[in-house]
Structure formats: structure tokens, C-alpha cells
Amino acid sequence: MNRSIESVLIPTDGSEGALAGARRGIDLASTVDADVHVLSVVDVTHAAEALEFDGDGQSPLEREAERAVDAVATLARDAGVDATTAVERGVPFEIIGAYADEHDVDVVAMGTKGRTGLERVLLGSVTENVLRTTSSPVLAVPPAAGDTPADGYDYDDVLLPTDGSETAAVAVEWGVTLADAFDAMVHALYSADTSRLVSGEGADEIFEALELQGKGALATVRERALEADVSVTGTVASGPPSRVILTYVEDEDVDLVVMGTHGRSGVKQRLLGSVTENVVRNASVPVLCVPMADGEP
């Protein structure tokens, strides 16, 4: 089942970190012919700054937010992408999630670093809270991934880590859809985590079972990719999943990682303490984090 992307939400505070997310979000929207929503949130938790108004009835934070959304909207329109702008007041991650739900946003694209200090509107921690709570996939973009090459972004290799879980299956659908859109190769990766195995009787049998499970998970990805006429390769690796994923990204020059926000652990609070969180915090490339909606396989 292909995932349709018709709208991309870009939260921004005008910082370079937020612009990194904006550039990637605009590039995605341009590729799949989607509209863009640009949102800046005046953080009411900084009450003194939020309640300070000038002669025109606006606070300095509201003016800053308007400049931030206008700058991103200009980038979008210059790229031929329709852009709608909004400035709202509230707790940033709550407003972002509510806006995404209200406007049926398909993907949220945001940087993993934002402003610091009392004047901040969007923080890196906001991104983590959005990842934990939103029902939309989130494209988390590290600052270094926002530099715009002269010939645009290349997405030649898309990494799909999988553990065979239902959440991984949902992420695979998104990964294959994006690989198809960007004409990229899918790299399916399964980590047989042997870090907690104690050598001795039965260890070899456990590893063989993990390896067999991994081959089954990779076969599922391969089947889905081939159905979409997407090139695919698969690897079973050994080690802690987050380390295996990050190493693979660097060794294979991966351009994008697509993964679920929780897997076999069944953790309900998405991302907290999970493999995905570690990858988002340390990856040098964008990571599309895909939640499993209630009732969705």
C-alpha cells in the first residue's frame, strides 16, 4: 500500500536548525507535489516575553514568528510549492501536534536543533516531544543535513531498519513509497542483537534463531520493494541495533533512514529510551520516524 503525501507541515523558529528541516521538507513536498504548511509557535511558557506587546498590539515574539514563517514560505514558493502560513500561541509541541491533526498533515518536517535562550520559539526538545506524541510521521533533520547542494538533495539510498514487528511494517510502506518517489535503492537492515547473550550452551542456537528471524524480516521488505519496482538489498548484522544502524549509515553513504517509533518492546510512549531516539540524536542524515496509528497494522 503506497503512502500518499499531499501536505507537509514545517514548524520553524527562524533558526538555522529549523531551516535545515524546512529545506528538506520543501524538497520532499516539491518531489511528491505536496503543499506546505509553515507554522511558528509563540511559546507561552516564557510568559514575560509572550505577554509583552508593542504599540501595534503584537509581542516581539509574535513578530519574530511572523518573520520566521514568511522566510520559509518564500523558500517554498521559490521552489514552486504552495505554502500556507500560521502563527499560534501555546506550548510548541502541543500546538504542532494539534495543527497536524486538524489539517490532516501527512508528514511533519522539522530540525532537531532550534533556538536557545529565553527568546526561543522552537527547541530541539520540542522535536523529541513531537516525536513522542504526534500521529503523523516526522522527518527529523540534523543541522548538517540542511546544507543545500548546488544540484539539490540526492536520495540514492534509503535505509529501512526492521525487526519484523508491526511498527516496522508500517515504516516499510513509507520507506518504499519515498524510495519510489526519489528513485532510490532500499537497504533493508536487521540487527541480531547478541550483546546480551552469554557465551555457553545454547548461545549458538539463540543466534541462529535471531538470524532466521532476521532473514524472514528482510524477505518481507524485499517482497514489498519488488512489488513497487524499487531496487532492494538486505543485510543481517550483529550488534546493538542503534549502533548497527548508525554504522551502516556512514559505511554505505545512506541518504535517509525510515523507521518506526516503537518496535517489539511495545513501549507506548513513542521513542522514549528507544533505538529510534538514539538514531535521531546521532544520525548525520534525516530520519523519518513513523508511528503506528491506533488500530493500524
Q: Which CATH number fits domain 7-146: 1.10.150.110, 3.40.1190.20, 1.10.3720.10, 3.40.50.620?
A: 3.40.50.620
Give the start-to-end residue ranges of the domains of the chain: 7-146, 157-290
Give the model's pLDDT for residue 70: 97
The residue among 137, 164, 193, 173 whose CA lies nearest residue 264 is 164
Give the model's pLDDT for residue 48: 55
SS3 247: helix
- CB 259, CB 283: distance < 8 Å: no
Give the model's pLDDT for residue 184: 97
User: What are the Cα distances from residue 179, in Å, to 32, 176, 283?
Assistant: 11, 5, 19
Write down the architecture of domain 157-290 according to CATH: 3-Layer(aba) Sandwich (3.40)
Give the model's pLDDT for residue 40: 96
Q: What is the DSSP letter of 4?
A: P
Local confidence pLDDT in tens for the 297 residues of the chain: 567 899 999 999 998 889 999 999 999 999 999 999 999 998 887 655 555 555 566 678 888 999 999 999 999 999 999 999 999 999 999 999 999 999 999 999 999 875 544 344 444 578 888 988 888 999 999 988 877 776 678 899 999 999 888 878 889 999 999 999 999 999 999 988 766 655 555 666 767 777 888 899 999 999 999 999 999 999 999 888 899 999 999 999 999 999 988 644 444 444 444 788 889 989 999 999 998 754 454
Report the C-alpha gap between 285 and 200 in whole angstroms.
39
The DSSP line for 161-230 is E--SSHHHHHHHHHHHHHHHHHT-EEEEEEEE--TTPPSSTTHHHHHHHHHHHHHHHHHHHHHHHHHTT-
27 contacts: CB under 8 Å, gap ≥ 6: 79, 152, 153
User: What are the Cα distances from residue 146, in Å, to 6, 17, 35, 257, 263?
Assistant: 22, 8, 20, 15, 28
